[in-house]
């Protein structure tokens, strides 16, 4: 699927529309950019991995494949820099994913309970739950399609098996990074949320575009479309002259 590069005015439009939205909706808004050919009303029901893979490709289209993230070691607090590559991340999650998953919802069975893999609508439904275990059980309830007739086992006892099945069917739903700290030698796992990362980068880009428009509009009286129509070289030269 070819993803169109959003222009400056389009980056600003996406940012404006996403600014007041919940992170789950922001991810769907960005996904919509990658699939203008599909009806947006179905996006909340798509498997999470479908959204994540498209957002990794969109990230590559907008800002290139290299991702540099900074975080503190969970154990000793040392600041560390992590270099990631969208191609490598995609290669790690696409191997086992049947391409048909992109448009359908995968289902599986555990102890005669029938489930489907989670989608954004499910994440929204559990977003208020602070307790991790309770959230996992609630997510399973959300994804349950069929109960066994005489089944009285609680969802809690199905968690481990169901989560493993979900991960096997939709490996891109959760991207885990294995990190190790050079200072203390500890290893640990973190969740990598491409939706949040990409939104933060779009936010930074949009605010810097607004600052450029502000400086040039103030100095020359040009409108936003007039400023966006300038080549990047001309714009940089004018910004230089107004002392930005």
For Zn ion, the binding residues (CB under 5 A) are 73, 75-76, 78, 181, 183-184
**Burial call 163-182: b when 16+ CB within 10 Å, e when fewer:** eebbbebbbbbbbeeeeebe
78 vs 111, which CB is nearer to Zn ion? 78
Cβ atoms of 129 and 29 within 8 Å: the answer is no
CB of 194 to Zn ion, least distance (A): 25
Q: How far is CA 72 from the centre of its chain?
A: 21
Residue 175 Cβ vs Zn ion, minimum distance, rounded to whole Å: 22
| Shortest distance (Å) from residue 50 CB to Zn ion | 35
Which lies closer to Zn ion via its Cβ, residue 179 or residue 230?
179
Contact indicator for 175, 191 with CB cutoff of 8 Å: yes
CA dihedral 220, 221, 227, 231 (to 10 degrees): -20
Minimum distance of Zn ion from residue 181's CB (angstroms): 3
User: What string of DSSP letters covers 96-142?
Assistant: T--GGGGTS--EEEETTEEEE--BHHHHHHHTT--SHHHHHHHHHHH
CB nearer to Zn ion: give 77 or 156: 77
Minimum CB–partner distance for residue 80 and Zn ion (Å): 8
* Residue 151 C-beta: closest distance to Zn ion, Å: 46
- Cβ proximity of 111 and 153 under 8 Å: yes
Question: Which residue in the block uniquely carries the two structure tokens 């600052």?
Answer: 211
Of the CA atoms within 13 Å of residue 19, those in its CB half-sphere come to 10
> Which residues are CB-contacts of 135 (< 8 A; sequence separation ≥ 6)?
126, 129
Nearer Cβ to Zn ion (74/94): 74
| Residue whose CB is less far from Zn ion, 75 or 234 | 75
Return the bridge partners of 179, or none: 188
Which of 72/85 has CB closer to Zn ion? 72
């Amino acid at each position: 699927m070819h993803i169109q590069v959003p222009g400056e005015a389009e980056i600003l439009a996406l940012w404006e529309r996403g600014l007041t939205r919940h992170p789950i909706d922001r991810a769907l808004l960005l996904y919509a950019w990658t699939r203008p050919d599909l009806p947006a009303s179905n996006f909340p029901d798509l498997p999470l991995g479908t959204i994540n893979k498209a957002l990794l490709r969109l990230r590559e289209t907008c800002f290139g494949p290299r991702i540099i993230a900074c975080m503190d070691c969970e154990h000793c607090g040392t600041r560390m820099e992590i270099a990631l590559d969208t191609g490598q991340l995609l290669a790690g999650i696409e191997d086992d994913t049947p391409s048909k998953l992109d448009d359908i919802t995968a289902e599986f069975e555990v102890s005669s309970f029938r489930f489907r893999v989670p989608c954004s609508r499910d994440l929204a439904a559990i977003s208020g739950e602070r307790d991790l275990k309770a959230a996992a059980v609630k997510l399973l309830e959300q994804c349950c399609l069929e109960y066994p007739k005489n089944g009285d086992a609680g969802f809690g006892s199905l968690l481990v098996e169901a989560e493993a099945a979900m991960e096997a069917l939709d490996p891109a739903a959760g991207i885990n990074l294995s990190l190790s700290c050079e200072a203390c030698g500890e290893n640990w796992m973190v969740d990598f949320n491409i939706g949040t990362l990409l939104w933060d980068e779009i936010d930074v880009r949009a605010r810097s575009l607004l600052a450029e428009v502000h400086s040039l509009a103030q100095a020359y009286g040009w409108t936003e479309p007039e400023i966006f129509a300038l080549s990047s070289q001309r714009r940089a030269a004018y910004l230089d002259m107004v002392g930005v």
